[in-house]
Structures are given as C-alpha cells and as structure tokens.
Chains A and B, each alone.
Chain A
Amino acid sequence: MNGTSIKPAADRALRNRTSLGLTVRNSLTMAYRGLLKIRRTPEQLFDVTLQPIIFTLMFTYIFGGAISGDVQSYLPVIIPGILVQTVITTSIVTGVQLREDMDKGVFDRFKSLPIARIAPLAGALLADTVRYTIATVLTFTMGFIMGYRPEGGLGHVALAAVLVIACSWAISWIFAFFGVIARTASSVQGISMLVLFPLTFLSNAFVPVDTMPDWLQWFVKINPVSHLVTAVRDMTNAGTVGWDLGISLIGAAVIVAIFAPITVRAYMRRT
C-alpha cells in the first residue's frame, strides 16, 4: 500500500531454517508479550501474592509446635519447604494459561509467521518467571516478618531464590506439555494438581523424613523435590552448597530435555 509496490516472491531471500539467534529473539519478544499481558490483567497475580502469605502463616503455626517444638525453630525447616512448594504450585498456572491462550485466534497468527516454532511456548514460560520471583520474594519476606533469620546470609538466600525459580521454570515445561495436549484449561489444572500433590507433599518439605514409614521414606528420598528443598535449606541455613544442589540442577535439566521437545512437537501437531 501507500503506492509502494510489493517485492515479488522470486526476488526475496528466503530461508527454511530458523537460526538459534532468531529463536532467542523470537522467544524474548514472546516473553515481552507475556509481561504486557500480566501488566494488563494484574488480577492474575492474585495466586502468587496470596498463596505465599497464607501458606506460610498457616503451615508454620499449625505444624510448628508439633514438629519442631515451637514456631521459631520450625522456621528454618518450613520456609525453604514452603518456598519450593509454593513456587512449583504457581508453575501450574503456566500450563493453564497456555491452554487458554492457545484457544485464541492469535495463536493462528503466531503459527503462520516465519518464527521459531518453540518461541510462543518458551516466551510464555519465560514471562512466568516473573510470577515465581514474586512468590519467592513474598515467601522470604513473610518468613522474615515471622522471625526467620537465615544463617547463610543474604547472598545465599538470593542464590537459593534463583535456584528455586530456575527449577520451577524447568518443571513448568511439564505443565506446558499438559497445557498443549489437554482439551480444556480446567483439565490441565486437574491433571497438574494430581501430579503435583504427591510430588510436593511426599517430600521432606514439611516434616522430618524419619517420622515416615520405610516404604514412604524410599520414595521421599528419591523425590527430586526433596533434594531441591535440602539444597535450599543448606544454602539459606548454613551457607553451604552440597550434592543436593547438583541433583536438583541435573533433575531440572533432564525435565527440560525431555519435556521441551515433546511439548513443541505436540504443539506443532495441533497446528
């Protein structure tokens, strides 16, 4: 239009592959879209703001006396546990929102654009790390208000926060997969909760493992969530970095390595 004529197809430089640089750029643009959406509908941040506050208060005062004798000595146990549980729970929303988003017409346009196929998914997941950051900061703040003083110091707390956010991002690929294959947003919610409850509660997040029956201890000890919780406790309470950190990171990498490709493939197949 505007009198300018359109370049004929034969004169265009065309490539059938998307480069890594393009993939990253497209994903960042899609993440920018996700951030704009969060800014436009701030009510979708209710869960990440209220859940850390309510859960931290509730669990600490309910279990504190029973498990550690008093609330104060339970804080170093429960805050890392609550942190991991809360942030992983908020990653379910990623899958639910992805499903809702994909039902809208705009995804047709994304699919018809010459962009990296993974970008709409990766961008959405990347934007959601903002949600995890909010949940993380609020959980630590609540703990601090209730009297939690991590021995490891601020630096290690920050490191632990980054670890939890990174692992939650990795785990959100699982829910993104459910989001892509499920028919409705509510079924994504259902399936994800079913997966998440055993993972977060059958761990050392809330109670000492040695109070559990042997067969349960076996599962709790191999549960990656337990390792993540232990890694966070080590860093915040003692300022040490152990083997649990390694296991957590390897676990996160394995999840991404498995779920990112199958999610993208499922996404492509739906097109």
Chain B
Amino acid sequence: MEREYKQGTKPGSGEWAVEARGLVKAFGANRAVDGVDLNVRAGTIYGVLGPNGAGKTTTIRMLATLLRPDAGSARIFGHDVAKESQIVRQLIGVTGQYASVDESLSATENLIIFSRLLGLGRAEARRKSAELLEEFGLTEAAKRPLKNFSGGMRRRLDLAASLIAQPPLIFLDEPTTGLDPRTRSQMWDTIRRLVNTGSTVVLTTQYLEEADQLADRIAVIDRGHVVAEGTVDELKASIGTSSLHLTVQQEADIELARQTIETVLKVQSNVSPEIGKITAPMADADLVTDLLIALREGGIRLAEVSVQKPTLDEVFLTITGHGVDEDAKSDAVEAARGKGERA
C-alpha cells in the first residue's frame, strides 16, 4: 500500500477520485477535523469509519463543497474543491445523513425538480424520475407526500436523487444508520451495483460490519484524525493474529486437549469449560496440522474447529485505545451535533 501512495499522480488523470491533504475544520474551539489526508482510487468503495463526532460528516461536507476547509486542500478527480467548486459539483452526488429531499413534496416532484435543476428537459426529467423510482422500488409511493415515507424509503429516494446526473463520485453519509437489517442489506446491494457501473463511492459509517462488507479500503477516523488506513485485511492484520477456536466433544478431555495445544503450538490458551471451548492465538497456521494429528493420536474427539480473524471492533479498540461503545450514544446526540455543524 505504501508504494501506491508514493506514485506521482497528475491532476485529472482519473486515477484518484479524491485526494485530500491536511484538511482542517474548527467549530469554535472544537477542531472537528484536524489534518485529515484521504486518497480514494477511482472505481472503489472507500469507507470512513469512526464513532459519532469523530469528524466523518464534517470531512464529507468539505469534500462535497458544502463546507469550506479552514486549512488543507482537496481535489476531486483533480479539481480543487475550493477553487473549482462548481466543476466538483458536476462530478459528485451527495446523500446526507438526514434525507436531503423535500418533505412537503412527493417523490416524483422531488426527482423532477432535481432533474430540472441538473439541466434535463421537461419530458426527460419525467422519464428519468420514473426510471429511478422504478429502480428503487418507489413507484407505488411516487405520488404520496414524503411525510408518510418510512426511513428506508426516504434513504432510497435520497440515493435516487443523487444518481440523476450519474455522477462518477458519490458521497454517502451514514447511508444505513437507523435502517432495519433487511433494508440495510438492500442498501448494501444497491451500493455494490453502483460501483459495478463505474462509480466511486465514499461512505461514512459507524458500523464496523458495514465497512467490512462494502469497503475496499478503510480510513479509521477518531477525534478529527485518521488513526489508521488500509484494506480491511491490512487493518485486521495490523492488530494481531487470528485465533484458533476448538470445541471438544467430551468435557473430560478438555484438560488434555489444552495441554496438547500448548505443547504443539507453544502458546498460552484460554479455556471456557462450560462450553468445552479452547481459544489459542494462531501465530503459525502450519502448526495446526501437527496439532490436529496430535489430538487424533491422543484420542480427543473435536466438536468444532474454527479460525477467527480479529473483528473490526477489536481493530477499533486497539487503534483508538478506547471502545466504540462510550461514543456510540443515541442517534439524538448525533442529530444535535449535525445541526450544530450545519448552523
């Protein structure tokens, strides 16, 4: 990964969708974003992961020309967000954390107005709106006012509105926050399909699973800083080894099994006697073969064997030195913060 970053890139060469250097934004004494660097390769999904208030939304808003950086610079496909903001706006679609659609109008009216603003003719705007509504499964609700829309429908409409101009770069700010698991996985499918058509997606999330599922690369942001960057696997690898989980069939075998493991793998292991499970760090995968043979020779029958990579939760805890839980307050807190940032 290091090598990739050192390659020189020409502006507008199309290789980098986003290049941000030292972005800073302060709200009063609070430095919401404090020197963020981001590089997003065109055609990939990039996850910006962090707890509430880490500076994710503020970073996205600066990249999307909604907020002027106090320091630093950012380029979208080689175009400066501050100096060529109107060009940048022609290249991006933004789906905010709070549905950026008109509550008092219907879904069709919303899409038609956005289409018209983007320069589509009357008939073309109508056709495009119908097409997008169909695609996002909103045709039935097209004429109803948005007041009666569910959270998932609003998000879908919001994403549909971002796709009218088929922008090559799409920002999704917490696209699945507050959605139920089924709607969430539908959203994930939609995002994956987007990338298949050649779009670049930058999404923020506080769900580690979401970043794990979708993103090619991840930046972990905490308190306005990028604290880690890399592929999901790199991040997981950076905090340590996978672990081996063994469950024995006969509870009586557990002590013998533990001794065998510690002798063969030469590591300390943990035992959970009540479920007959032994966990040991797996530094060298090759030794596992020896271990399994030794266990068979010892007449120990296994119920289950599994290898677990560290979860992103653990990654986060290790990198930031504090848990996710202490920051992950209710949505109300985030909402209040979002309002404050906007004002």
Contacts and interface: CB of A to CB of B under 8 A. Distances in A.
Interface of A: 1-10, 12, 14-18, 22, 25-26, 29-30, 32-33, 36-37, 40-41, 103-115, 119, 183, 271
Given A15-B87, A36-B105, A10 B100 contact: no
Contact of A109 (B101, B109, B194): B101
17 contacts: A5-B197, A6-B168, A6-B197, A9-B12, A10-B12, A12-B168, A15-B90, A104-B102, A105-B96, A106-B100, A108-B96, A108-B100, A109-B96, A112-B65, A113-B117, A183-B343, A271-B68
Contact of A112 (B92, B101, B135, B198): B92
B100 A105 contact: yes
Contacts of A106: 100-103
A218 to B, nearest CB: 42
Contacts of A107: 100
Counting chain B residues whose Cβ lies within 8 A of the other chain, the interface size class is 35 or more
Contacts of A108: 66, 94, 96, 98, 100, 342
A104 B114 CA distance: 16
Nearest to A9: B77
Given A9-B17, A16-B87, A106-B103, 16 more contacts: A2-B135, A4-B197, A8-B198, A9-B14, A12-B90, A17-B86, A18-B86, A26-B117, A29-B113, A30-B117, A32-B116, A36-B105, A106-B101, A108-B98, A109-B96, A112-B64
A32 B169 CA distance: 29
A10 B114 contact: no
Contact of A105 (B99, B145, B193): B99
Contacts of B94: 108-109, 112
Contacts of A36: 105, 109, 113
Majority secondary structure, B binding face: loop
Nearest to B13: A10
Question: A6, A36, A103 — which one has the most chain B CB atoms within 10 A of its CB?
Answer: A6
